[in-house]
Amino acid sequence: MKIDLSGQKIVVTGASRGIGKAIAEQLAEAGAQIAVHYNRNRNTAQRVAEDIGRGAEIFQADLSKPVEVIQLFENVMAEFGRLHAIVNNAGIAISSEVEGDDIAFTDAWSKTMQVNLHATGLLCKKAIEHFTECGGGRIINISSRAAFRGDTADFLAYAASKGGVVALTRSIARAYGRQGIKAFIVAPGFTHTDMADDFIKKYGESYVKNDLALNALTKPEDIAPTVAFLASGMADHATGCTIDINAGSYVH
């Protein structure tokens, strides 16, 4: 069955590159109008919007700043009027050694939590308020394999933040299903994106591939079709679920 998202208006955070870009492209291909969120890469985001078409528009916000997170949602609403789904994809991974300076560790921890968890929680709150008023909607939160099996010692904050996203999403599914709000978790494993390059440079590609069941690293386009499927409504009775996309490296 072909996925048809015609008429849907969907926000994708972190949509100027990587997983978010692939998701925006897949959703638009299925017919959705996309709010392309970006932080610094305006020109790149504009190219994404132009390439995917269907009335896509770009919206800037620094997700480490709560005021800008709220403004992002309000700006999208002012332009789109109605939303049918939100994909909270944007995230950061800051390397921070436990053995290092306490203040530097705390700063990295706080910023990671703000972008990966706090901003996601706030956007979920705004989406819930909107969806409750208009009869429902779908929340798709991009977590990580790290939420379930942990990460390396220098990415404790990243793993913890993504674990929080899992609990948040499951709680939304439980609390708001009767209001027509469905919430899903997509948990990629190591995915070959620009953000992952620093990790590859530090640990080597062989380290990353060592525990894969497949021969190649997961790519953003391996993740995007699942998000489109969840947005379609064909999986609504899987609300609260986690879908692992990690080349068979971890099954929980």
pLDDT tens string 119-146: 999 999 999 999 999 999 999 999 999 9
The amino acid sitting at 92 is I
Q: Tell whether the model's pLDDT for residue 239 goes beyond 60.
A: yes
Catalytically active residues are 158
If you search the block for the tokens 């969120």, which residue do you land on? 37
Task: Dihedral sign for Cα 39, 41, 43, 47, please.
Answer: negative
Q: Tell me the pLDDT tens digit for each residue of 26-79.
A: 999 999 999 999 999 999 999 999 999 999 999 999 999 999 999 999 999 999
H helical segments located in 114-242: 119-133, 146-149, 156-176, 197-203, 205-209, 220-231
Residues 6+ apart with CB under 8 A from 4: 30, 31, 232
Residues 6+ apart with CB under 8 A from 177: 239
Rg (CA), the chain: 17
Q: Tell me the pLDDT tens digit for each residue of 170-181.
A: 999 999 999 999
Q: What is the pLDDT of residue 252?
A: 46
Residues 193/199/201/202 CA torsion (nearest 10 deg): 180
Domains in the chain, CATH or no CATH each: 9-245 (3.40.50.720)
Q: What is the band of 205 on the pLDDT scale with cuts at 50, 70, 90? A: confident
